[in-house]
Structure 1
Amino acid sequence: MNRTAATRLQALACLALSLGLGHAAQASDHLDTPSVIGDPRADIGDLYAWTAPDGKHLNLVMDIVGHTFSDKLDYVFHIDSGKRFGHSTASTALRCRFSSGTDVTCTAGDADKAQGNPGDSKGLVSEHGSFRVFAGPRDDPFFNNVKGTRAAYDKAHAALEAGAKVDAAGCPAFDAPTVRAVADEWRHTQGGPAKNLLAGWTTSAIVISIDLGTVNKGGPLLAVWAATQGPTRQIDRAGRPLTGNALLGTLAPEEISDAFKETYNMATPADGAKFVDEIASNLGLYDGFDGKCGNQWLADGKAAPARRYHALAALLADDRLWVNSASATCTQFFAVERAALGGNRELAKDCGGRAPNYSASNVWRSMLVDGTPDSVSDGLTRDERAHSDSVFPFLAAPDAQAAATGAYQ
């Protein structure tokens, strides 16, 4: 038995449970650090970015866990642009600062500015008309069968405790009954139909639709990440779902894990190299969930065990949502990355990114298990509310009672 792998998987099971316990756990950026949890207004839950169906705009959503926005913080969308995947040559910052819940100033670099009340669902239009912004309570589109995920991890942990071998790269050799049991638990909630633990959660959302010409100066490939910025430092950041908190500090004691994640939250994608080894050390566990080692996306079967997962770890450590703004067809999470790195040329005309109705968590897990986008399912395919990728402000209005009482958390 590999005690390290067993302990790591038990930590993943605890992490899965934590998705549903407490205000900061209600989105894909879960189990955050004390400084972020201490002020939910600084806590980014989810980030969405995709090309509008008209092919002329980039749509952006930043979900904030707190039920108000802080007047001490900047809420920033960073949009890097370039002509080739992985190489950006220009950047635009969309920065919003609230003086109150009914007064915001948002700037798109030096190009345009919007100031006023962002609460109208039609959006506050900027001075030169290049973007519009909404900010207020919305239903969060993220969905996740948390209890089923935890049960799946528990099955794998039990197999490790019973003696399942783990190779030098950290990939466990689960037998066929374990693989079937893991998949079955993942698709159900306590033996019954899958349930979304996050159903009905209301977030505070910043929603922007901006002319592509304002953000694609370097080229049509856009790399998007979000941050909350305090007076002296960056407090939180978000790119793709799950990576930042699911693959960092999994085994470490709480104080070390928190320090690791604090460093990550204050970093930028350019600092990604310092997190690659830690992310790689956790990828092997996912690779083994289908009973086969080495078929994870971008896994290098010819490399030394310590390097098997480094290509994927480097991609995840960069942690930006890549959007092909030359396309107005948006169907696949990881589409841009798979077209560029995985040989999936059929996705070359997909915008990728993350639209509100993507099943992003299932795709993320599937790519980590066997390199396909649809092998792992937690039994859920959609949120309970209807969201739009075309009608501003895209996210469904919140539950009326939650909106009236401010009970967003």
Structure 2
Amino acid sequence: MTTQDHCIIIGAGHGGVQAAASLRQEAYQGRITLISDEPDLPYHRPPLSKGFLKTPTAPVLELRNAEFYRENGIELICGARATAIEPKARTITLADGTRLAYTNLILATGSRARLPEIEGITLAGVLSLRSLADARCLNDALDGPKTVAIIGGGYIGLEIAHTLAGLGHAVIVIEAVPRLLARSVSPPMSDHILARSESAGIVFHVATRIAGLAGSNAKVTHVKLADGRTLPADIVILGTGALPNVELAAGAGLAVNNGIEIDSHMRSSDPAILAIGDCTNFHQFHVGRRLRLECVQNATDQARNAAKTLVGQPRPYRELPWFWSDQGDMKLQTAGLALDADRTMMTGSPEDNAFAIHHFRENKLIAVDTINRPADHMLARRLIGTRAAPSPEDVLAGPQRLKEMMKEAAS
């Protein structure tokens, strides 16, 4: 590592900004260039589905202020899109034709909304919410009481549903599979979220498929269901998942398989090019398989790991995943991944809207989903994956027993 080195980071979301910050924290001496295809200073994305919709005139929550980039010698280029990577020459090309040379490259290109291939998808009033520009479009469309149909009962769809219902809009959620958040939480948690959301005035159609969208004068007016019914909609919001942005990597000949394939030090198939965040496919230590995660925690933790790799202090990536979602009066928090769980156990009370669901594999705690139980969540994050390995009996013994186990594991 020398002052002649140049690290270019493509993508200025949570991962990209953290990578730039972590490089300086790790005493990286070279140039750092951070490239964003958005015109605004890099910003927090989770509030877009919540606070920003409630108060669109409030200031955008910037990840770092402009002074941070100047003071740390980070060249931030906003409103620029990278169009090509030339690994042999170690250069990238921007949409305006500018070519930049790098010593190392970090791809933090994130993901984009998955658009279903259905009739009417291009009608006005059909929106998604992945960026600040998307949020501004949605706020402009919400210029009075609206009937809003949200396609998809995942995290983003449910967060938007609760926010808009709280603002007085009529909200319908259409989910193709039989329960909400089916890929993320257990059936009892899905049932609770459905019941609580219905009590907030949100109308649900689960196990319901979309046939297409209908409109008048090029503007959406109805959602057509596969069973022949139609639902009115002034606005349709697509919460139908995300696709990793891997086109740059694929064009450069990097290994891609549902994300850019990386090793435990964030290196792609070209060791000079690293990748982090939503766009990556990596071996998840805690579940023992390759997968792709879409969450702020993974993006920022991988960014810190990438920085250590580039300053010659590589360490295997073994961070525990954790997630959160604010939906009305429910704060859903998850620690760990419940893949391959063979037993679940509940503590607390759904009736009180405060409980936890513990997931076990071979009698060891591997994940905990909580509603309005932040202390349980934090304890789970500190325990899961340690040699303490709590059993169902340990969990039933209560928090004091788990805290003792945590101390024993740390000694």
TM over 0.5: no
Q: Which has the higher strand share?
A: 2
More helix by share: 1
Give the TM-score normalised by the residue count of structure 1. 0.25
TM-score for the superposition, normalised by structure 2: 0.25
